[in-house]
Amino acid sequence: MESSMGSGSIRRAAGALFRGVVSGAPAPTGTFTDVPITSAVHPTAAASGPVPAVRGGAGRTVTARYALTRTAAALAGTAVLLPPLLLAAPAHADEKPKDGKGGQHVPKAPAPPAEMSKVGGGLLGQAGTQVRLKAGAPKLPDDLTARSWIVSDAESGKVLASHNAHWQLPPASTLKMLFADTVLPKFPKNQKYTVKPADLAGMGDGSSLVGIKENLSYTVHDLWLGVFLRSGNDAVHTLSAMNGGTAKTVQEMQKQAEALNATDTHVVTPDGYDAPGQVSSAYDLSLFARAGLQNADFREYCSTASAQFPGEVKDGKRGSFGIQNTNRLLSGDYDVKPYPGIAGVKNGSTTNAGSTFTGVAQRGERKLLVTVMNPEKKEHNEAYKETAKLFDWGFAAADKVEPVGRLVGPKSEEGDARAGGAKLDGDKARAGMQDASGGSGGAWTALAITGGALVLLGGLALAVHRRWPLPELMRRRGGRH
């Protein structure tokens, strides 16, 4: 495992471990990119060059395009004592391996474990690409570089294709979907909360922020817009404070992951900021998205492209500023167009995680979920570009492939998936699983879940598709065509 890392990576890992031990807090091993931060830029940013300004918040936001880089040469000699998880961590974003011509070692790309979870089906636990094409099925795109990805039917849960689906990797801000699954149902959206200075303490250096100010009040609705549109760690920490604190929230998130049968996930921070030991998988992130989409408020927030956010008080009046969703398949960018039919869900980017994204989109009556984690190709918006390619493939291939597995339901419906309580892809009773109502045609019900419960009767599994209303925003964007 050591041979796959350069000495610089080992020194940085040692430094991260040292800082975490000394401070008693997660080490600032990761940074968020393409996200707003307050104008009080962390001093380490200066070492990486200029930080260009972007619109929003009356000039109070800038774009964070830097990486926190520190050297821990004093601990380099102790690298052999580092835990395997740290040794296996991806290189920092500022490390640019040379081509070897100058004699510098070129680190090998990390490889997925030989043994991974088989939750959802045995094929999903195998390394590499898993797909079962029927006659006439389109081939998968040949230029996918993500370390892990999965394409699934959002309603039935059928997995159409996957690549290292259960590889445990840093999730970045896509972990905020689990945060929302855990905390969002607890507070009414019109509840107001006055932010205390302590609520904003403990955020990692370079965190993405929406611009929350202490001693000002915000509605829960405001805070969730900050979480979903700007991936605001300040909004996450404020909601965590309302929920009893960060430690309590992390514990509840871990319990929620377990309740959803998301067995690859270990939660350390509520906002997804890089921390030793914090991992999830493309499979689990798809479970979090699918669970969240049962909630109408979750659907509203994750499908909102832009909104007004409360600003500071001047001359006795509360101002506001515009915020835009950093999900580029929803809001677009100079090199990425909004994807037709997109309705969320969440993106992320940190040093260790690279770029991560889970999206949901509809074409006709079909709804697909795609999760992409850490493309090796480091081009601008690459995660969105690969997601769009997988959406295109999935919509074209959905009826021309045999499922390679499925997204399991929560423990409350089908027990512990690891213990065999859930039937997997080899179960003939689930092969070609159909909607118990006779198909997916017709209007969607206004309920968050129609049926949705999995009933095990005499060993026969009867499944009902999960449905949710299409957000009005996505209807206006021409999602149904």
Q: Where are the alpha helices (DSSP H) in 203-339?
A: 220-230, 233-242, 246-259, 282-292, 296-302, 328-331
* CA separation for the pair 7, 92 (Å, rounded): 12
Say if residues 470 and 362 touch (Cβ distance below 8 Å): yes
Kindly name the residue from 158, 176, 367, 389 that is annotated as catalytic: 176
Residue with tokens 């000394």: 22
Kindly name the residue from 148, 152, 173, 208 that is annotated as catalytic: 173
Q: Is 176 a catalytic residue?
A: yes
Burial class (CB in 10 A: 0-12, 13-18, 19+), 231: buried
What's at 168, amino acid-wise?
A: Q
CB neighbour list of residue 167: distance below 8 Å, 6 or more residues apart: 112, 113, 116, 127, 147, 148, 281, 282, 373
Residue with tokens 């500023």: 321
Kindly name the residue from 208, 231, 240, 303 that is annotated as catalytic: 231
| Inter-CA distances, 36 with 28, 223, 338, Å | 18, 15, 20
Q: Is 98 a catalytic residue?
A: no
Say if residues 279 and 90 touch (Cβ distance below 8 Å): no
Q: Locate the DSSP E strands across 330-386.
A: 342-350, 354-363, 366-375
Residue with tokens 């980017």: 349
| Inter-CA distances, 428 with 271, 383, 425, 431, Å | 40, 35, 8, 5
Please give the span between the terminal C-alpha atoms of the chain, in angstroms, as a whole number. 49
* CA separation for the pair 120, 95 (Å, rounded): 36
Q: At what angle do helices 176-183 and 246-259 cross, to 10 degrees?
A: 90
Q: Is 173 a catalytic residue?
A: yes
Enzyme catalytic residues: 173, 176, 231
